[in-house]
Amino acid sequence: MAGNEVEVISHLLEVEQAAVALTTEAQTEADKRISAARAKADAEFKAGFDKIVSENERVFEFEREKISADSERSVKEFKDRIEASAKDVAAFNSYLEEILFA
């Protein structure tokens, strides 16, 4: 009977070792799959992020050029209005004499 018990215990130890090996193999495979999924997700995130950044840079550059052109146009219009305005030198000289020598 003792031999039978030893055989049962030996068999149970073999089953346990097989279970440990199977669990270790499963954990290794799970780690590989998780790493692959993480790498894929990171790559997809980076691609999406780069696309958004690129679009925002394009919009920023377009708006910057538009604002710059509008600003240059406004300054030119202001200069043109000033240059086109009539200059009353006599009234200016009179005003200066009134302020400075009064």
pTM more than 0.95 = no
Backbone phi and psi for residue 88, each to the nearest 5 degrees, phi listed first: -105, 85
**Per-residue pLDDT tens digits for 8-39:** 999 999 999 999 999 999 999 999 999 999 99
Q: How far is CA 87 from the centre of its chain?
A: 55
How many Cα neighbours within 13 Å face the side chain of 74?
6
pLDDT digits (tens, 9 = 90+) for 45-80: 999 999 999 999 999 999 999 999 999 999 999 999
